């Protein structure tokens, strides 16, 4: 049976407390659009509710295969990430919940740099210059595929990413299969942290 938010609430409790303390100490980018969203003004934005699912090994589908070009014009392929956990975040710059969760993604990507997991963005609406500006604003150092023109990467994930749910964050296991997903804004960094840790731990079992 798949794990859900209620099913592992107790296991995440301590991690949530640690993450909350870290966020209070580190602060975040002062961003008016993100603040509006946090205060309940979504400006008509439609997205997921932040619900998450962890998929057992026996229930995972085929590896996700994709290719694209990032914001710097460099090619990116799913083959590059085989053998490690990959966190894929679907976003665009004017998306308020994307901006609200960006500091958490920055912190977690730094935490797992060289520690078993890589991060990759997939920008579904913007061109490269807008994506680069967003990265500079929030201090994002991992690449983002610019998927605006053909939507090929989103199509590759079509069974796992609802069409209108942006942001969505996918955790791929070391074989490139979907191990977990968060549909909507990452409400608590400790949840994604735990999903990543679980996927990494599988390789040691």
Average pLDDT over residues 85-90: 98
Which residues are CB-contacts of 164 (< 8 A; sequence separation ≥ 6)? 46, 47
Domain coordinates of the chain in residue numbers? 9-204
Q: How confident is the model at residue 162 (pLDDT cuts 50, 70, 90)?
A: confident
> What does the pLDDT read at residue 27?
36
> What does the pLDDT read at residue 20?
36
Range among 24-28, 120-124, 159-163 with highest mean pLDDT value: 120-124
> What does the pLDDT read at residue 205?
64
Cβ–Cβ < 8 Å for 70, 143: yes
Q: Which tokens in the block code for residue 144?
A: 């983002």
Query: Is a pLDDT exceeding 90 seen at residue 21?
Result: no
Task: Give the residue carrying structure tokens 């040691």.
Answer: 204
Query: Is a pLDDT exceeding 70 seen at residue 43?
Result: no
> What does the pLDDT read at residue 114?
95
| 203 or 139, which is more confident | 139
Which residues are CB-contacts of 83 (< 8 A; sequence separation ≥ 6)? 174
> What does the pLDDT read at residue 14?
36
CB neighbours of residue 134 within 10 Å: 23
CATH top-level class for 9-204? alpha beta
CA distances from 77 to 6, 15, 81, 143 (A): 35, 32, 8, 12
pLDDT tens-digit readout, 100-124 = 999 999 999 999 999 999 999 999 9
> What does the pLDDT read at residue 11?
43
> What does the pLDDT read at residue 2?
54
Range among 19-23, 29-33, 69-73 with highest mean pLDDT value: 69-73
Dihedral angle of Cα 128, 34, 121, 4, to the nearest 10 degrees: -160
Which residues are CB-contacts of 200 (< 8 A; sequence separation ≥ 6)? 85, 115, 116, 117
> What does the pLDDT read at residue 9?
41
Query: Is a pLDDT exceeding 90 seen at residue 89?
Result: yes
How far apart, in whole angstroms, are the C-alpha atoms of residue 176 and residue 173? 5
| 142 or 20, which is more confident | 142
Q: How confident is the model at residue 47 (pLDDT cuts 50, 70, 90)?
A: low
pLDDT, the chain, mean = 83
> What does the pLDDT read at residue 131?
98
Prior bond of 171 cis (ω within 30°): no
């Amino acid at each position: 049976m798949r794990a859900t938010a209620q099913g592992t609430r107790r296991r995440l409790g301590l991690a949530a407390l640690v993450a909350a303390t870290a966020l209070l100490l580190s602060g975040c980018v002062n961003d008016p659009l993100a603040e509006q969203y946090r205060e309940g003004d979504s400006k008509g934005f439609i997205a997921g509710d932040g619900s998450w699912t962890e998929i057992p090994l026996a229930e995972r589908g085929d590896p996700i295969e994709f290719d694209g070009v990032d914001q710097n014009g460099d090619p990116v392929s799913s083959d590059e990430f085989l053998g490690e956990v990959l966190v894929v975040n679907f976003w665009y710059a004017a998306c308020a919940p994307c901006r609200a969760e960006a500091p958490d993604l920055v912190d977690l990507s730094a935490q797992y740099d060289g520690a078993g997991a890589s991060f990759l963005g997939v920008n579904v609406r913007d061109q490269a210059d807008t994506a680069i500006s967003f990265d500079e604003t929030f201090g994002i150092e991992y690449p983002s595929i610019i998927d605006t023109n053909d939507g090929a990467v989103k199509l590759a994930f079509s069974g796992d990413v609802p069409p209108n749910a942006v942001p969505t964050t996918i955790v791929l296991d070391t074989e490139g299969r979907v191990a977990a997903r968060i549909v909507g804004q990452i409400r608590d960094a400790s949840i994604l942290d735990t999903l990543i840790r679980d996927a990494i731990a599988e390789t040691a079992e």
